[in-house]
Structure 1
């Protein structure tokens, strides 16, 4: 049955290719399919940046020919299929997605295109150009060639200000002195528009609140020269309002800290640092809110200060809207200075929120069951923008299937509290003026977790973290956690569990070191927030160091290892690099790629990296053709190990690569086709894995690979993901059997959010 299925798909693909190549037979008599045009530039002089000029001209060519893919025109193919009496469901579906009407030679208006090309040439200084065109025709297709004869372009001889009215004259004069419009530069209308916008930005930054770039006019004078040069003059429009040429100063700043969108009734005013905080004392203490505001009374209006203030206030996390409005004080206006009142309206989020998460869990060891998490949030705990998140979680799993371990249960209870201060808490006072883009936040968290597995053990763990997160600019975020403590303590261990540890010294050693104290640093560069960009990049690097600081106070025990406060501590270094790239080519179509590499190194007091810090591979956010934590290490096969299903397969090296094509289906449903590759290894071969886990130069041949399809339900950024993947290279098999696309071993993955 599978063979018939594969043959049918292959035959359909071949038929589709043949039909796509045969669209010529549908072209009406007397018509030719228009396949596009090219531009050839002929010039008597050297043209600087000729490639850029050609790109501008080619972008102006009309009409746009039908799209091609691998030499075929599938959109055109499905258009012609739709003209049949009974097009069928498949043709109707693909026509709706990619179909397009044909573009014929008769649709090309040569003279109109020639006029557009002439206009583009004149806008770039090539006045009195000439354009000719001709068609290159064959039996069913036609293309066009546009030949542009470019004369010597006009260049700038001088750039200077015309007579302007004060006080704007000196401000524009300073801006013109920094101009890129220099002597010898070719006339270019787009450069003049950019110059006007640049000067407008400069003037706004100097307080000219009512100025507009449309008030600036360029004039060119060629009378002084006979060799295609011109003097460029900048002047202001006549009858321009007086308000546009005077700077404005901020006289007063009012901060409405608890604004509901309508009511501006003043019940309480607190004066702090030359600013008026209205209705703030009982909601957000002015001394905590004030550092986020960069506007200052007595200073000139600055749009940059407005943007910085709005952005910084938004990062607090307590407000849903930040709106800054300026009001002109006409009674205080003079011929040389205007006065503004700045009003900052802050609309708070609901102070308290409750979130419930229900999930279903399946694992490679056949454990499955429900999970519940309840999160309570307080977004303004001490009236200083502090955010408290407290999460209580419960998980219950039962081991499914047949065998001696069937029916084993696992119960997981957790409680975690995270408190985020929107300011730096440090023994030495930090000057927040240094952080122009955003003020760092202080993050603290405490958590406890209890895990009980029948017939094995109970595991109690506690964590504590203290650190800072800082957004340096729009794309870059730093997070440093100088204090990170993790403590685990097994209890109620059974003889069966002890026997497993005795058989696996590697696993036993990773459980022995119960105390981890270290430092974490994360660097993130994220262009994914720029949704309009064609090429988006993402980079996340993580450094995890443990045991170095407390090693100074460690005391050696009878086993030859060191302890701190009676606890054996771990020493290791771990580095992760996660790189992602998105190529957006319109109509919500994306090619997403990811590379991940990680390495953990144990030293000093540790022989192995602690179990909770080791890597695993497989699952909905990894190599999706393999169940979570079931891939590797290396070429290890766990089928003959009866105890392997108790613990996840881990290693201290991890490499992964993923690529995915995402496309819209209908409404909020989206599809995906993907391929994944990856594995984990150990830097030193361990007896537990029969030496098959060691990382070598042959690692490429030991990658687990799989491919599949997926469905996404994307509702305003909240994504439910369903992926079906099958392996086509399984490193746990013998080399002659590894390459086999086995649809019968398809793995279903459910996830929230995109995998990368």
Structure 2
């Protein structure tokens, strides 16, 4: 290992030295008189300004200066060198074009810097932040064909707000403004700040939009700063309506008519069928409460509009209900386009007629899918799915989905005589856009809550081993508080596994292994499950977060009522099958940090535990945890890692079985960057394992103990991601760095790495091919 390390260090130092040489030689490409611009420096001369304020002002000013110098890494500029050193390509494609114009950066010269313009930016920005007498100067420093610009700012004293006045009058709009003046963002003693003034105008506008002033605009508000009435560098702020504010902007509107067209089509508009405003009395529709529905074919029940529309006759217009209604109509999932118009009434003053023009999707669709797949466990296969969807099953925007499928997975490598897998099944789902329950459920969310009913059956055949019949059914609800928070509650989630055709070959292969025997025993799992998701990944932020927590409680009430206790030999059965009793919790934390538009780091932590008790000694196989594979610890084949320090190689040759556990801990980190258009690259590291709660004599070392950290597996690798917008193909090549089933003290595998050995590469380099990101 020492010799390999010395060779590695040697080449690393040579490469690093060459990198420094080529990166420092950018100036040799400059023409006579040209200077490479290396950036700007800002000095602020004000001894009375607090350090925090000075640093904030300096950082903001540097961000506003243009242009930015060439990017650097550890003081070097490899992208600039790539541009300079690459000859002009003959065509706008190829590696030379990519190096020069895609990876490379054109040099930023001192001549590109408008120093007077930047000086004005510094002065204007400083004044906008309350430094009314700011003065700036600049100087240029050059050396060795490089130049930087030093700007010196003398901001003077910062002006503070001495008083805030809201001009009052008897108008309705002014009375609304006066009601919220206590919530003003302009606070006495705070610095004058133009950004805060803009935010205050937006605040007033938002409040007025919630109180009927549909046509109001932030520009109708003026905030005047008067420094003549105050002393000691203070200003008085006066907030008032502009004198030329249009009468329409000062009018407060209420809703008169609400008209819904649930079968709106743009082609009919061109034919003159829809003309707005219109007289509902002349339309072939009907009234449902305060809503007038134009639906001659009666495709939709009017109740769905009553639940989705938040405006009623006589309501004061407000933007919250405006947006809420549109979002709820969209989340019904049955309309392709949702449009609304508020038209000023011809006959009534300050009244709106609200029109909702809804273009439905195709109500029924039939789709046939053929899929091909492979995984790191040496299986390749195909799947055929036939799916039928009806988006308005009972005319209430209920979504009904039915599917039938067939699939097979064939062993293409690894141990000989491994078993192929065949699956076939059917699944039906009904999603109702409301909470079906004996109690009333009110939701003010922009997302329609749903009741979900699912029934399914799957036939699974492991060729010469056994056959499984899987039945599942569930009833529950999903609802979202907002775009970040989502809940899913299954009041009942039932799984029944009925083994059949267990062959003598399987029984002979497993011997006395209780773990493998449980795979072919009847299983009955039922109980409630709940999951909660919180995410900010859809927001345009540098740092975003994702969390999903799941709680699964099986057989708890039944176990309590029947007094089930396997330790005392009192195992209870339902229809001749022992029911499972356990508690399971799983947590998935993810954190994303964006360095640039297409460069980021993603991390994930998964922690979960399942505890059997009462009627069960073990967790059902279908509810246990697994690790390894393309979306987990990628240096180990799917479901072959763990539990604990158990060595799966000790199993009988040619007979592999998925390894499962009751406790799971996994940590992943991945650096992602864009190389060229659709081509992305990643460097990643994965760590984790699974463990059992109870001792298993068939799998020594599998139980969770205080030494669990010594049994954590570690892998690392590199990957390519081909992002075609509608499809992301992922290729990850990983190798193990720490193997938990090696001898304790010898689990790190650095000394075994040998890329020149074909046998080592075959056993340790794992290629994962998958669709989408792993997390």
Residue of 82, 98, 107 corresponding to 2:103: 98
Unaligned 5+ residue runs, structure 2? 275-281, 756-760
Question: Are 1:753 and 2:761 counterparts?
Answer: no
Return 13-22 or 567-576, whichever deviates more: 13-22
1:207-238 CA distances to partner (integer Å, 9 max, x unpaired)? 01111111112223333234333332223333
Rate the CA distance shift 1:554–1:346 in 2: closer, same or farther, 3 A. Answer: same
Rate the CA distance shift 1:232–1:695 in 2: closer, same or farther, 3 A. Answer: same
Query: Which residue does 2:61 correspond to in 1?
Result: 57
Residue of 357, 363, 367 corresponding to 1:355: 367
The answer as to whether partners of 2:635 and 2:735 remain within 8 angstroms in 1 is: yes
Secondary structure of the residue aligned to 2:131 is: coil
Paired residues, number: 745
Residues in 1 aligned to 2:734 and 2:457: alpha-carbon distance in whole angstroms: 35
Query: Which residue does 1:258 correspond to in 2?
Result: 263
The answer as to whether partners of 2:257 and 2:354 remain within 8 angstroms in 1 is: yes
Residues in 2 aligned to 1:449 and 1:197: alpha-carbon distance in whole angstroms: 56
Residues in 1 aligned to 2:115 and 2:412: alpha-carbon distance in whole angstroms: 72
Give runs of aligned pairs for residues 647-726 of structure 1, distance below 5 A. 647-691=657-701, 694-699=704-709, 702-716=712-726, 718-726=727-735
1:279-321 CA distances to partner (integer Å, 9 max, x unpaired)? 1762210113311111122011111111111111111111122
Question: Are 1:491 and 2:500 counterparts?
Answer: yes
Residues in 2 aligned to 1:9 and 1:254: alpha-carbon distance in whole angstroms: 75
The answer as to whether partners of 1:466 and 1:481 remain within 8 angstroms in 2 is: yes
Secondary structure of the residue aligned to 1:75 is: helix
The answer as to whether partners of 1:445 and 1:464 remain within 8 angstroms in 2 is: yes
For the aligned residue pairs, the C-alpha RMSD in angstroms reads 3.0
Residues in 1 aligned to 2:765 and 2:633: alpha-carbon distance in whole angstroms: 12
The answer as to whether partners of 2:23 and 2:78 remain within 8 angstroms in 1 is: yes
Give runs of aligned pairs for residues 417-496 of structure 1, distance below 5 A. 417-430=428-441, 432=442, 434-496=443-505
Residues in 2 aligned to 1:597 and 1:153: alpha-carbon distance in whole angstroms: 51
1:549-580 CA distances to partner (integer Å, 9 max, x unpaired)? 22145476995422234320111111111112
Residues in 2 aligned to 1:513 and 1:597: alpha-carbon distance in whole angstroms: 29
Rate the CA distance shift 1:398–1:226 in 2: closer, same or farther, 3 A. Answer: closer
TM superposition shift of 1:627? 1.9
Secondary structure of the residue aligned to 1:468 is: strand
1:233-287 CA distances to partner (integer Å, 9 max, x unpaired)? 2233333321111101111111111212343558642211211111176221011
1:393-417 CA distances to partner (integer Å, 9 max, x unpaired)? 21123344587625x4422111111
Residues in 1 aligned to 2:197 and 2:9: alpha-carbon distance in whole angstroms: 62
TM superposition shift of 1:78? 0.9
Query: Which residue does 1:36 correspond to in 2?
Result: 39
Residue of 290, 302, 313 corresponding to 1:274: 290
Residues in 1 aligned to 2:494 and 2:298: alpha-carbon distance in whole angstroms: 36
Secondary structure of the residue aligned to 1:173 is: helix
1:565-598 CA distances to partner (integer Å, 9 max, x unpaired)? 4320111111111112222333433322222222
Query: Which residue does 2:75 correspond to in 1?
Result: 71
Residues in 1 aligned to 2:554 and 2:654: alpha-carbon distance in whole angstroms: 28
TM superposition shift of 1:112? 2.5
The answer as to whether partners of 1:441 and 1:468 remain within 8 angstroms in 2 is: yes
Query: Which residue does 1:142 correspond to in 2?
Result: 147
Query: Which residue does 2:277 correspond to in 1?
Result: none
Query: Which residue does 1:315 correspond to in 2?
Result: 331
The answer as to whether partners of 1:356 and 1:375 remain within 8 angstroms in 2 is: yes
TM superposition shift of 1:464? 0.8
1:358-386 CA distances to partner (integer Å, 9 max, x unpaired)? 22344566443222222211111101111
Residues in 2 aligned to 1:519 and 1:681: alpha-carbon distance in whole angstroms: 25
1:479-503 CA distances to partner (integer Å, 9 max, x unpaired)? 1112011111111111222234442
Rate the CA distance shift 1:270–1:552 in 2: closer, same or farther, 3 A. Answer: farther
The answer as to whether partners of 2:26 and 2:80 remain within 8 angstroms in 1 is: yes
Secondary structure of the residue aligned to 1:279 is: coil
Residues in 2 aligned to 1:314 and 1:320: alpha-carbon distance in whole angstroms: 8
Question: Are 1:297 and 2:302 counterparts?
Answer: no
Query: Which residue does 2:278 correspond to in 1?
Result: none
Rate the CA distance shift 1:513–1:435 in 2: closer, same or farther, 3 A. Answer: farther
The answer as to whether partners of 1:554 and 1:563 remain within 8 angstroms in 2 is: no
Residues in 2 aligned to 1:384 and 1:254: alpha-carbon distance in whole angstroms: 18
The answer as to whether partners of 1:411 and 1:451 remain within 8 angstroms in 2 is: yes
Residues in 1 aligned to 2:303 and 2:495: alpha-carbon distance in whole angstroms: 35
Residue of 369, 377, 383 corresponding to 2:381: 369
Secondary structure of the residue aligned to 1:243 is: coil
Query: Which residue does 1:215 correspond to in 2?
Result: 220
Give runs of aligned pairs for residues 718-737 of structure 1, distance below 5 A. 718-734=727-743, 735=746
Return 614-623 or 720-729, whichever deviates more: 720-729
Query: Which residue does 1:518 correspond to in 2?
Result: 527
Residues in 2 aligned to 1:86 and 1:435: alpha-carbon distance in whole angstroms: 61
Query: Which residue does 2:410 correspond to in 1?
Result: 398
TM superposition shift of 1:421? 0.6
Secondary structure of the residue aligned to 1:413 is: strand
Rate the CA distance shift 1:280–1:308 in 2: closer, same or farther, 3 A. Answer: farther
Residue of 552, 558, 561 corresponding to 1:550: 558
1:493-545 CA distances to partner (integer Å, 9 max, x unpaired)? 11222234442112324654611111111111122222x32222111111111
The two structures have a TM-score, normalised by structure 2, of 0.89
The answer as to whether partners of 1:554 and 1:564 remain within 8 angstroms in 2 is: no
The answer as to whether partners of 1:270 and 1:281 remain within 8 angstroms in 2 is: no
The answer as to whether partners of 1:260 and 1:347 remain within 8 angstroms in 2 is: yes
Residues in 2 aligned to 1:698 and 1:108: alpha-carbon distance in whole angstroms: 59
Residue of 582, 587, 593 corresponding to 2:592: 582
The answer as to whether partners of 1:635 and 1:732 remain within 8 angstroms in 2 is: yes
TM superposition shift of 1:700? 5.1
Return 55-64 or 359-368, whichever deviates more: 359-368
Rate the CA distance shift 1:343–1:755 in 2: closer, same or farther, 3 A. Answer: same
Rate the CA distance shift 1:97–1:625 in 2: closer, same or farther, 3 A. Answer: farther
Secondary structure of the residue aligned to 2:649 is: coil
Rate the CA distance shift 1:402–1:703 in 2: closer, same or farther, 3 A. Answer: closer
Return 66-75 or 8-17, whichever deviates more: 8-17
Residues in 2 aligned to 1:267 and 1:62: alpha-carbon distance in whole angstroms: 60
Query: Which residue does 1:603 correspond to in 2?
Result: 613
Return 466-475 or 638-647, whichever deviates more: 638-647
Unaligned 5+ residue runs, structure 1? none
Residues in 1 aligned to 2:190 and 2:691: alpha-carbon distance in whole angstroms: 59
Residues in 2 aligned to 1:296 and 1:8: alpha-carbon distance in whole angstroms: 78
Residues in 1 aligned to 2:610 and 2:682: alpha-carbon distance in whole angstroms: 33
TM superposition shift of 1:328? 1.1
Secondary structure of the residue aligned to 2:643 is: coil
The two structures have a TM-score, normalised by structure 1, of 0.91
